Amino acid sequence: MTIRTILAPVRGDGKGEAVLDHAVAVARRFGARVLVVHARPRPEDMLPFGIPVTGAMKQMILDSAAAGATEEDARVRSLFDDYCREKGIPIVDDGPAPKGSVCASWREETGTQAAVVATRGLLADLIVVPRPDADGAGVRTLEAALFDSGRLVLIAPPKPVTAIGASVALAWKPSREIARAITAAMPILAAADTVTVLCAPPGGGDSKLTAEELAEYLGSHDVDAEVRVFRARSTEVGQGLLAEAQAAGADVMLMGGYGQRLRRELVMGGVTRHVIAHGDMPVLMMH
């Protein structure tokens, strides 16, 4: 298996370029297609809830919402076309994508972005989503990618990027989630120039599954990995991971996904939340 299709949901919220930058960076490494999808809201979802309106008022709201959605579709598509032209990426909207070469495709779907990602993500090798805002905006899309698609997810910070996957930092703590993430990310690990396993005790030596055993397992898949054990207080593991990843020159962090729905956790898991919220590097995750 390798990475052939990368799903990149975009909308007119100013985050689309960062998502495309990260998706294209991975696509260039694997000669993959970037499937850009724009979710068009249903006009009926714009009707006020619990407030009675006349038939004429309802129709006016529906017509206005439909017109606004059409205008937004055209605007975002124009931004996509401009982006591909500037980056020299061919657009292949019809037929199969050519193997081994980078290209982009455009799709419009009706519904919420989260619902579209949950469906389209089923046939993607990687889903790229923007990092959620501090106020929770974007959490539903991230949840859909992680919990409903069963696919590897790349969380893109709001910054330009040119390369992803040359140097991978792997945050090791024995769990089902990181085991699945490692399996899904094996093409990225195998193609990396360097892989660094990062862990804080007990994962470094006292656990029944040590970082050294993980490095041995990776070696059986022809992935050479260096182990870096660092010490940090239980409340500072996230900071430690980011510092060690930076020292190792990593351009992406691979972690296990959350154990339960983000909204159910409210705080998204101390270590993982810190790495996503405070790190400048993209994060690969899988539930």
Any idea which residue has 């972690």 for tokens? 255
Higher pLDDT, 78 or 73: 78
- The kind and range of the H/E element at 229 are strand 225-229
- pLDDT tens digits along 191-246: 999 999 999 876 444 457 899 999 999 999 999 999 999 987 766 788 999 999 99
- pLDDT tens digits along 139-175: 899 989 988 998 999 999 998 898 999 999 999 989 8
Asked whether the predicted pLDDT for residue 49 surpasses 80, the reply is no
pTM above 0.85, yes or no: yes
Q: What is the pLDDT of residue 258?
A: 62
Q: What is the pLDDT of residue 22?
A: 97
Q: What is the pLDDT of residue 265?
A: 46
Mean pLDDT of the chain: 86
- pLDDT bucket at 64, cuts 50 / 70 / 90: low
Segment 134-140 mean pLDDT? 82
List the one residue out of 31, 14, 149 whose CA is nearest residue 79.
14
DSSP 2-56: ---EEEEEE-SSS-HHHHHHHHHHHHHHHT-EEEEEEEEPPGGGGSPTT----HH
Higher pLDDT, 70 or 55: 70
Asked whether the predicted pLDDT for residue 66 surpasses 80, the reply is no
- pLDDT bucket at 266, cuts 50 / 70 / 90: very low
Any idea which residue has 């089902």 for tokens? 176
The vertex-27 CA angle with 23 and 32, nearest 5°, equals: 125
Q: How many CA atoms lie within 13 A of 169 on its CB side?
A: 25
**Which residue segments constitute the domains of the chain, with CATH numbers given?**
5-156 (3.40.50.620), 167-286 (3.40.50.620)
Any idea which residue has 């519904």 for tokens? 111
Higher pLDDT, 204 or 16: 16
At 286 the three-state DSSP class reads strand
Structure tokens that stand for 48 in this block = 């006020």
Residues 194-233: b if buried by 16+ CB within 10 A, e if exposed: ebbbbbbeebbeeeeebbeebbeebeeeebebebbbeebe
Percent of the chain with pLDDT over 90: 56
Cβ atoms within 10 Å of 141's Cβ, excluding its own: 24
Q: What is the pLDDT of residue 260?
A: 52
Q: What is the pLDDT of residue 109?
A: 92
Asked whether the predicted pLDDT for residue 268 surpasses 60, the reply is no
